[in-house]
Amino acid sequence: MERLFQPISINSLKLKNRILMPTLDPGFAGEGGKVNQRLIDYFVRRARGGVSFIMVGPAVFDPRGVGGTFEYRLYLDGVLEGLSRLVEAIHDWGVPVGLQLHHAGRQANPALIDGTLVAPSAIPCPVRKSNPRALSLAEIEGIVHQYGVYARKVKEAGFDAVEVHGSHGYLIAEFLSPYSNARTDSYGGSLENRIRFAREVIQEVRKNVGKDFPIFFRIAGEEHVPGGLTWEETPLMAIRMEEAGVDAINVSAGNYRMAEWIVPPMTLPQGCNVSAAEAIKQKVKIPVVVAGRINEPELAEQILQNGKADVVAIARGLVADPDLPLKVKEGRLEEIRRCIACNVCIDRLFQEKDIVCTVNPEVGHEAEFELKPTLSRKRVMVIGGGPAGMEAARVAKLRGHQVSIFEEKSRLGGRIEAAFQASFKRELMNIVQYYEAVLKALNVEIKLATKVTTDLALGWKPDAVIIATGSIPLTPPIPGVHLPHVVQALPVLLQEKKVEGRVAIIGGGMVGCEVATFLAERGAQVTIIEMLPYVANGIPRLLGKMMKDTMKNLDVRTLVNRKVLEIKEGKVIFEDSGNVASLAVDWVVLAVGATPRDDLVNSLKELFQETYQIGDCLEPRKAPEAIYEGAKVAHQL
């Protein structure tokens, strides 16, 4: 990883390595973006992990430009002062910090702004759908002036750099793109006119911060919408930004219409913006930063070695594992808790909630989950080697307990093994690989192919028992459900049961969509039958959108608002708008949920005073809740 840990300068900014954390709003700020201790703890934890630079934001300077609840509203009393405290806390770890200046334009949240949305043209965002008002020339001049004023305030607050946000379909991007700019004056039409606003902003910022203060500019290398920006055009824009005074170009992609390119889910390839960054790097002399699913250190090193970018921007990867840079530097690649691009974090932000991370339960709980050595070493029995049990074992061992995992299967992983059988979810196996590596490094005793009984538990004599036995698939009360051609989804995904031909899947949630994709990829004719008006319920929005696109491309048929009445040999009978209909099938796959596997719970609670129940054996949910419960219990031991 020689190139990854080579220092680089961006104007006066000295970076110790090429790993930068770009803006990802965690949603931990108080009302109006006021800094609190939880937010400070979150960023300090990232600074401790060896990253070379952190970009905080987005920060809004205009009440008409607010895009989300937690954005830092610089015009409110106390916000800049709080950000200064944040900078000082991060600086204590020797890490420089930048602030991203942002105006959401037509993608602002109508419920959070004062007055009407503003934009280059009166063209509504296809997602927000609210009608914006076209900015007048005087208003454009005023916004340019505001950028300069607040850039100076950013510098005075102690930040080491400022970033002008010109990507993701926000105001500057709206001027840049013919997709959103239909002006006929000097700010619209030709490329030179469309970049005029951005250049004026950069020049005004430079005037206010001086020649030595670093300015980043974030640009969408490609918008991925008809009529939008492409990486054939954006390099020409980057040249003009460099001329205007930018010190580094930060390349991302997308807008709200194609939000999956802003925060690419697992269905998009890793390094999905590298081609666009390379095209820009070939045209400019300043450093180029690239973002977009760079969660593998080997990929990051390859990008740099091949000269396709100068710095890699890793956001979700540092949410998942803030120690990623240190682990790479120390050669502990197997112990990296890799981001799986499930986008649970981003889905929460879309709901105006703070983020959580599927694989890292410490996110937002950095103070609560700070590792503290136990004062009373215990013999801890963990029953179940799924995510909840493995996390409980990891944390308990780190705190100094003697820990053993008992798993009745011949391998760790639990039900998550079935989830990564669909091709687009292969990266979920990173969860299991991470725990296998870290538990081995910690010398946690793992007893595979061992079914725990009350006698075994009594003989082992634990001081504490953590029950993480998971769940079993639910069998719905449908006539015919026990016929030989009816199977559960899990044995199909685990390839313990071969299913082919015409297949009906009852249930269109996460598991139903996974098994539908899995079978369709292998040539089956798949139909999902779902009671709700839609499939992919409960799946993070961007991942769900792309899962549905994948199923459509595989010719998976979906029948929604249908209730299955009976299963017979060769067909499924269901209710359709008050009528009875049927579907000819060779196989029926059940994917209607799960029920707790809690057969050991009562007997063990009677035998051992300190007994805990975590994960799906308590209540079937998703991996984030299970892993969080594993960590929480282990911190309580």
Report how far apart, in Å, the C-alpha atoms of 157 and of each of 76, 80, 154, 161 are.
Answer: 14, 7, 5, 11
CA 25-28-32 angle, to 5 degrees, is 85
Dihedral angle computed from the Cα positions of residues 151, 153, 154 and 159, in that order, rounded to the nearest 10 degrees:
130
Q: CA 330 from chain center: how many Å?
A: 25
In a 3-state reduction of DSSP, which class is residue 199?
helix
ω into residue 491 within 30 of 0, thus cis?
no
Backbone angles phi, psi at 207, to 5 degrees: -60, -35
State yes or no: is 170 an active-site residue. Answer: yes
The catalytic residue among 170, 179, 256, 434 is 170
Q: HSE-up of 2 (CA within 13 Å, CB side)?
A: 2
Classify residue 459 by burial, with Cβ atoms within 10 Å: 0-12, 13-18, 19+: exposed
Strands 502-506 and 587-590 turn out to be parallel
Handedness of CA 277, 167, 99, 50 (dihedral sign): negative
**What span, in angstroms and rounded, lies between the C-alpha atoms of 339 and 358?**
9
CB contact at 8 A, 262 and 253 = yes
- Interatomic CA distance for residues 434 and 578, integer angstroms: 50
The partner residues of 99 in beta bridges, in order of sequence, read 56, 162
Strand partners, 634: none
Residues that are catalytic: 170
